[in-house]
Amino acid sequence: MFSNFMMNAWIVATIIAVVAGTTGFFVVLRGNSFAAHALPLGTFPGAAAAAFAGVNELFGLVVFAALGVAGISQLGRRQRNDVATALTLIFLLGLGTLFLSLSREYSQGVFALLFGDVLGVSRAEILPVAVISAIAVAATALLFRPLLLSAVSADLGAARGVAARRMEFLFLSILGLATAMALPVVGALLVFSLMVGPASAARLIVSRPLPALLLSVAIALVIVWVSIALSYLTNWPVGFFVGALAACSYGAGRGFQWLAHKAQVPSSSTNALVG
């Protein structure tokens, strides 16, 4: 379980979990779940475009992530955000279909980009992932307060000099970076679950922003570590365990919230009787 090739998986999965837990907190808080789902799906054809152009796969993913961010931001000024996101996704998937048809030798890589290949990560891939992850986490930390203000109340943010539209673009840029970095490892369909599941559970358990963000990261770490261990023991896909455990974490969060509410009701009733 801790052989050389497995160590690469542990390292990269840990990095991705930290980024997913950090950005996922704001995905949930800002209601950007659709964008978090659409960006990975719209970004993965970038790898096919890179293969067709003969350049590094990561470069293609970053370029398509940038196209996705620009499309959602620009169209969002004229359309509702969900419509803008859907139109951008349709356009990028159309481009992806074209590049996949022109680069047939890359077709076998589509499955890995959709569902991930964390056990196939090489040592050479660790450094680019670490650098992009550090940029995404640092940008989120730097913009923590403005992002929080604009998410909780656009009017309050505007009163404090925080432009909601600019914050939306900056956060989408961070999300695009995180997506491009995580895609080859956990796949387009699982980036979404790793971002949304832990963060949603954390918000149900903790109400304060910073503790909730840290708990989101902790839950994401547990999910990827347990998923790798279970995949090694069962020979089942890592993606299955990531998706299942992310859903279970949200269910656990709902259960905790229900128990906390039930505990408060008798306490409130007792205080009312005593009063």
Nearest one of 19, 61, 79, 7 to 220, comparing CA atoms:
19
Give the pLDDT confidence score for residue 152 in this predicted structure. 75
For residue range 158-183, list pLDDT tens digits in order: 677 777 778 888 888 888 888 877 77
Using 50 as the pLDDT threshold, list the residues of the chain that sit under it: 269, 272-274
Give the pLDDT confidence score for residue 204 in this predicted structure. 92
Enumerate long-range contacts of 104-107, CB under 8 Å, 24 or more apart. Answer: 105/51, 106/47, 106/48, 106/51, 106/52
Domain count within the chain: 1
Q: Which domain holds residue 234?
A: 4-274
Instruction: Compute the distance between CA of residue 142 and CA of residue 165 in angstroms, rounded to an integer.
Output: 17
Instruction: Compute the distance between CA of residue 48 and CA of residue 44 in angstroms, rounded to an integer.
Output: 8
Q: For position 223, which CATH number holds?
A: 1.10.3470.10
Give the pLDDT confidence score for residue 272 in this predicted structure. 46
Give the pLDDT confidence score for residue 198 in this predicted structure. 93
